[in-house]
Structure 1
Amino acid sequence: MMLLTVLKATYVKYRSLAIPQFRSLSFVCVLMLNVLISAAQSNGLHFDGTNDFVNFSTSITNLNKADFTIEAWVKTTATSCGIVNCSNGNTSWETGEKVFFLNSQGRPTFVGWGNDFINSSTAVNDGNWHHIAVVWDYSGSGTTGTPYIYVDGVNTTASSNYVANNDNLGTFKLGMPNYWGSEAPNFFSGSLDDVRIWNVARTQTEIQNNKDAELVGNEAGLVGYFKLNEGVANSTNTSTTTTADATSFGNSGTLTN
């Protein structure tokens, strides 16, 4: 069963410290501005790993010969499971399917058609919240470009033979497998939060500066923004059936289980 839990009402980045006996206001202010509270979420949308996924009716952005960035907060102990999937939803591997998933070692991986992978060197399946992002910086011609995978803002790209190739023009899904045994044969088990889809190649600095902050929804290049904060925290929320898109594109998703 899909458990909807609410993420923090606002992303709090800084807090005040009660520091007795200090008389220098400027010194206290410096401390207030430099105590960073991580926005890694304690809540989010929980997936049971059996049949839970979120289905969108559109492809949201081009994952073929174009720039793109996919970001998400994840909390899991699972492996070999789908996170963001663009496919026709068949219960088998599809030509041109694109999947951002955790491999058998719990490392974020992006795969296109065939053996076109972008691999990370860092596992994130330790049961803690992690921010992950895959970026494809398309060259503008042919099938070449520069790939990146970031974990908590750090470039962890280990290897890649990814090229811009076939796209099956499927629709986006969260938590769905691609049914390929050596890739993502399993539904996602754990929690997802704050999923962002961009039609631009975000830089490492942009990712680092914004991963802990709630967006407005009208940022340049942002074509899908899913806060996954519907419902009441730690409840099953059976009456909640959709998750909203915070951009003007209105690509709301349907909760399925």
Structure 2
Amino acid sequence: MSLFSFNIKKAILFLSLFAINAATQAQNALLFNGSNSYVEIPYAATNNPAQFTVEFWARVDGGSGTFRAPLSSRQGGPPYNGYNFYANTGNTWNFTGGSGVWEGLSGPAVVIGQWTHLAATYDGTTYRFYVDGVLVNTLVAGFSVNTSRPMRIGAGTTEISTPNYYFPGAVDEVKIWNYARSASQINDNKNVNLSLPQSGLMSYYQFEDGLATSKTGINNGTLINAPTSVTGVSFTIAPTITNFNNITKTYFDASYTIAAPTSNSSGAFTYTSNNSAVATVSGTTVTILGAGTATITAAQAGDATYYSSSVTYTLTVNSVSIVTKNGEFSTTNFNYVNKNGALSTSNSVTIYGQAVSTKSNDGLSAASAGVSALQIKTDFPSAVDGLYWIANSNINSGTPFQIYADMTTDGGGWTLIMKNSNNAGWNYTNAISLNTTIPYSNTADVISTSTVNYSIIGWADYIKKSESGFQYMIDATSRRSYGGIWTANGNYSFVKTDNSQTNITLDTKFGTWNYVNDDGISERMPWYQNDCGAITTDNGGGHWWGTLISRCGWNPTPWISDAGGGIANRDPGIIWYWVR
């Protein structure tokens, strides 16, 4: 075997081990030798509350037939005050609390070499002892706090200066709380790397970097006789949950479907409402029942890496005053009429005779379809990138349909009118109308080079905000790259069949390209032709660079061969076209 091959194998092995460790989120613990190493933490009243939860992970590596104390904070002798944890002489776990005498709670057998979670609580009347999140013993008795002696991790007999009951093994994730936590709080969080602050958490020792520093900023410990840093228990971390924004509806809006938040966890979401008078939730469907506000909670289950968490938004349901078919004023009668006196499902008149919309038009359902992405973003500024419903009398006979909207770039409000990542299958007809029932379910589909092509360019003239002065956007390879944002300064069309639409303003450039006539982006709005470049900025000279949809060669399309001194991008891989 060559030295090069040997080193490559070592590198692969190292990276594999690193990946395993990173995936399980294991961090550091302190290992004690069982003879003279331990941590000493000076006396602190906050580590000795009258009601408490003390919890940690411990791994016993030997010492059968002796008392071994992973953690101790005791005083006196007699009377005995404070608390202790032991792996006792019979190799079972034991907790004792002092009430002048020792009040003992026994636990299950110690398993040598295995990490075990230990927790003890006292609520003012009752001790509870938990092992691996399971309640194993209770005892009604008194408790007297340690008022002067230090705490030790890895050794006992804190009532005297010389330690005893040295612990042969490792300890990790020591937490001391000033109240008795519930069984679910203990079990659900035993594998959790807690973020701070936490109400009632007095000390938190994780032993990162081989130190006994408390994450709460007080009650730091000192390492005695060099306990060593080793790999600790595996724990889950907090997920990042975003894109769950406040929603405003009207009483007359139909039920809508909750869009799942964005999360780095794979845990399943469940949804609830805290006000059933305003809205109820079944699965992902929210049914509006009354005006007011409700908090919608998305609770995400934990997975192998992330613990369970939740996020909320506020649903505001507004009341709308309408005129019924019987001429009455109401805020709840669905039999309302429009300004012409005809029954309506989307608008009515106020008591002053003014036209009023009865629906929110937020685009979150077909029943509340908006007019365009721009209208939705304008009326609902918290709208995020994703799928929305819009309706237009010139499209699908007014039947609502879904679009993908960019609600971020340059203030948002962009409707996707084309995505091209493969030149196969394009022709003159479908260049402006392909897969019009949107084939994407999320942003990942839209930016993927492996999902199908899409075009609603033929509808763009009805979606744009105005006849003149509307904007279009093109980006290629990755979002907001190799393209830009333009304003059309004339009454221009997205399906113009000649190259005359040249009065445009480049508002924002993505990249360093410059206009060229034949071999890149030309200074004109893309036009529609029955040639190789079906949708193109080409000047008509036959080179067909600056093309968005190609019917001839180049996969998916020939884009920028000559960037006019900037950076070229001949084969972009994917290209998008937008309107607002």
Local SS of the residue matching 2:188: helix
Q: State the match for 2:52 in structure 1.
A: 68
1:58 to partner: Cα distance: 2.9
Q: In structure 1, what is the Cα distance between the partners aligned to 2:83 and 2:134?
A: 23
Partner Cα distance (1:175, 1:94) in 2: 24
2:83 — aligned with what? Answer: 98
1:174 aligns with 2:174: no
The alignment-based identity, stated in percent, is: 28
Map 1:59-208; keep pairs closer than 5 Å: 59-61=44-46, 63=48, 66-76=50-60, 77-78=62-63, 79-87=66-74, 95-105=80-90, 106-138=92-124, 145-157=125-137, 160=139, 162-165=141-144, 167-178=146-157, 185-208=164-187
Distance 2:86 2:95 in 1: 5
Distance 1:114 1:103, change over 3 A: farther
Task: For residue 53 of structure 1, report the CA deviation from its aligned partner.
Answer: 1.2
1:45 matched to 2:30: yes
State how far apart, in whole Å, the 1-side matches of 2:27 and 2:117 are.
Answer: 13
Q: CA RMSD in A?
A: 3.2
SS at match of 1:104: coil
Say if 2:204 is the partner of 1:243: no
2:45 touches 2:147 (CA, 8 Å); kept in 1?
no
Q: CA deviation at 1:93?
A: 7.9
Letter in 2 for 1:191: A
> Residue 19 of structure 1 aligns with which residue?
none
State the Cα distance separating 1:87 from its structure 2 match: 4.2
Higher relative contact order (CA 8 A, sep 6+): 1
2: CA distance between counterparts of 1:74 and 1:169?
Answer: 26
Q: Which runs of 5+ in 1 are unaligned?
A: 1-7, 16-36, 139-144, 232-241
Q: How many Å apart are 1:136 and its aligned residue?
A: 0.6
Q: 1:216 to 1:93 in 2, by over 3 A?
A: farther
Residues 110-165 of structure 1 deviation map (CA, whole Å, 9 limit, x = unaligned) = 23255432313312342200111011111xxxxxx1111111100011x5364123
- The change in CA–CA distance for 1:87 and 1:151 in structure 2 (over 3 A counts) is closer
SS for the counterpart of 1:207 is helix
Q: TM-score, normalised by structure 1?
A: 0.67
Query: What TM-score do the two structures reach when normalised by structure 2?
Result: 0.31
- How has the CA–CA distance of structure 1 residues 131 and 85 changed in structure 2, closer, same or farther, with 3 Å as cutoff? same
**In 2, distance between residues paired with 1:43 and 1:219?**
21
Deviation at 1:46, TM superposition (A): 0.3
Question: Could you tell me how far apart the structure 2 residues matched to 1:161 and 1:68 are?
Answer: 15
Instruction: Give 1:62 deviation, angstroms.
Output: 5.9
CA contact (8 A) 1:54 1:254 kept: yes
Cα distance, 1:115–1:185 mapped onto 2, change above 3 Å = farther
Tell me the amino acid that sits aligned with residue 82 of structure 1: A
Partners of 1:217 and 1:60 in 2: how far apart?
20
Deviations 1:17-75 (A, max 9, x none): xxxxxxxxxxxxxxxxxxxx7x7x685200011111111123253646x2101001001
Rounded Cα–Cα distance in structure 1 between residues aligned with 2:58 and 2:196? 20
| 1:116 and 1:161 in contact (8 A); partners too | no
Which of these two proteins has the greater Rg computed from alpha carbons?
A: 2
Q: 1:87 to 1:120 in 2, by over 3 A?
A: closer
Secondary structure of 1:122's partner? strand
Query: Is contact 1:68-1:200 (8 Å) kept?
Result: yes
